[in-house]
Amino acid sequence: MNLKNKLKTLNVDIFNPYIIVVLIFLFIAMAIPMQYFSNELHPPSFQLYLFIIIGIIFFILGVLFPKILFRISKKFKNKIIILEKIKENKLKDLDEKKLKNLKENKLKDFNEKKLKNFNLFNSYTFIELILVAIVSIGIILQIVNFLILGGIPLFSGALKATAATKIWLFSYIFFLIGINLLLAKFNRKSHHVFLLIGLALFTLTGYRTTPITILLSVFITLFYTRKFEMKHNLLFAILIAILLIGIGFIATKSIEWQQWRLNPIDLLSYRAGFTLNILDKATYLQGSTNGSLFYYTLTGFFESVDPRVLVGEAVIGKNHSITSTIFGPAILDFGLLAMTIQMFIIGFILKLLHTLQKHFKGIATGIYAIILAQTIVWIETGPTDIVVWIFYLIGIFTILYYFYKLQPSFEEN
């Protein structure tokens, strides 16, 4: 087999939860040119790297924890094994009596009832139309948002500052959930039109994170539900890079009150380095915001306070919206202990969803893709958006649903 064929058939689960660790190190590497080889930024202290390593360790512990639970819960583990055997038609390992009993009494019930419950799509045509309607609502709301704003935020710093309205928020929630579940369950090329329309609209808002999250989550969804070749992976990677560099550069140049002399690549490095420098300062200001970042994040529907502005006020004493990485807000609010708890929980939830989506696909894959993509974006921005906590809450309900449905699946003979 030549190299080209090997690459085509290479089956590597690149979107397992450990990709977060890889991308954290990549984010640090992006910052190095501006921090160590230019006069734009200064090198961070050793304490920054110490906090990051501690955060990564607890994230990994969170990822490993479900394996410990599975080993403790032998009954659950046995159920998963049986499900895998049913899917792969490898029930020959069971003894004849148990196999007969399973086929006659339980396999029939499982296939007819449980799989329907897992998929949540008992009527494919009806559910497909519902998902198309949800996606369409997201698109329409974004168009309405532009009409109310009176322009395109991508080309105006003033409009961008006011673009993240409640209409925008609901538009994003509807579209992101709808498009991922639609593509996860229904393999129709026509549905990609909705993706392109939504991606274009959210790109025009001038925010990098939303279109990148949309494209990245869809990439993850398709990666697990379609047969991807290497060229498909490269295409998505190139598109994401273009969005990351292009939107950030255009939006920055469109801010009327700022003047930048950096090229797009240098600007990307500068943003990463500046964000890490903010985190560096935050490690010396543990607990300085006294929980206000978390409070205003959770009350984002009702309060007009931007948690990232509070980060700017706490760290540099200026009324600027500033990101502080995935570690920063927890450190500023409650200190190192809160950061370790947060990273452990994130790893734990991602691993549970990753395990469920591998076995059940469909809705589990779509939810996992959304949450993983949002967490990847968090590496820079930090958990200061109510929408991401909403998705994590949906993820928790998804986990509970599948675990609840698993309980009565099989009884011990």
User: Residue 253 burial by CB count (10 A; 0-12/13-18/19+): exposed, middle or buried?
Assistant: middle
Q: Is the pLDDT of residue 2 over 60?
A: no
Model's pTM, two decimal places? 0.80
Q: Is the pLDDT of residue 234 over 70?
A: no
Taken as a whole, the chain contains a residue count of 413
Helix (H), strand (E) counts: the chain: 20, 0
Highest mean pLDDT pick, 22-31, 187-196, 268-277: 22-31
* pLDDT average, residue stretch 120-142: 80
Q: Read off the pLDDT of residues 70-90 as tens digits, 9 standing for 90 and up.
A: 666 655 556 666 665 555 555
The band of 241, judged by pLDDT with boundaries at 50, 70 and 90, is low
* pLDDT average, residue stretch 93-105: 54
Would you state the structure tokens that stand for residue 101, as one six-digit string?
A: 């009993």
Q: Is the pLDDT of residue 184 over 50?
A: yes
Give the Cα separation of 337 and 131 in Å (integer).
41
What pLDDT is recorded for position 180? Answer: 93
The full DSSP string for 90-132 is -GGGS-HHHHHHIIIIIIHHIIIIIHHHHH--SSHHHHHHHHH
What pLDDT is recorded for position 9? Answer: 46
Helix axes 336-360, 386-406, angle to 10 degrees: 50
What pLDDT is recorded for position 315? Answer: 92
The band of 254, judged by pLDDT with boundaries at 50, 70 and 90, is very low
What pLDDT is recorded for position 287? Answer: 93
Q: Read off the pLDDT of residues 7-58 as tens digits, 9 standing for 90 and up.
A: 444 567 888 999 999 999 999 998 888 888 777 788 999 999 999 999 999 9
Q: Is the pLDDT of residue 122 over 50?
A: no
Give the Cα separation of 168 and 160 in Å (integer).
12
The full DSSP string for 317-354 is SSS-----TTTHHHHHHH-HHHHHHHHHHHHHHHHHHH
- Give the phi and the psi of residue 392 in degrees, each rounded to 5: -65, -40
What pLDDT is recorded for position 412? Answer: 38
In SS3 terms, 375-388 reads as HHHHHHHCCCCHHH
Provide the 10 A C-beta neighbour count for residue 362.
17
More confident of the two residues 20 and 261: 20
The band of 250, judged by pLDDT with boundaries at 50, 70 and 90, is low
The band of 121, judged by pLDDT with boundaries at 50, 70 and 90, is very low
Q: Read off the pLDDT of residues 372-410 as tens digits, 9 standing for 90 and up.
A: 999 998 898 888 888 888 889 999 998 888 877 665 443
Helix axes 124-149, 166-185, angle to 10 degrees: 150
- Angstrom distances, CA of residue 194 to CA of 2, 22, 270: 38, 31, 34
More confident of the two residues 23 and 161: 23
Label residue 335 left, alpha or beta by phi (over 0 means left) and psi (-120 to 50 means alpha). left
More confident of the two residues 14 and 156: 14
Residue written as tokens 């500046």? 274
Would you state the structure tokens that stand for residue 334, as one six-digit string?
A: 């409650």
Least confident of 52-61, 152-161, 220-229, 235-244: 235-244
What pLDDT is recorded for position 14? Answer: 85
- Angstrom distances, CA of residue 306 to CA of 133, 157, 289, 388: 31, 17, 13, 15
Residue written as tokens 């609901």? 170
Mean pLDDT, rounded, of the chain: 79
Q: Is the pLDDT of residue 228 over 50?
A: yes
Q: Is the pLDDT of residue 98 over 60?
A: no
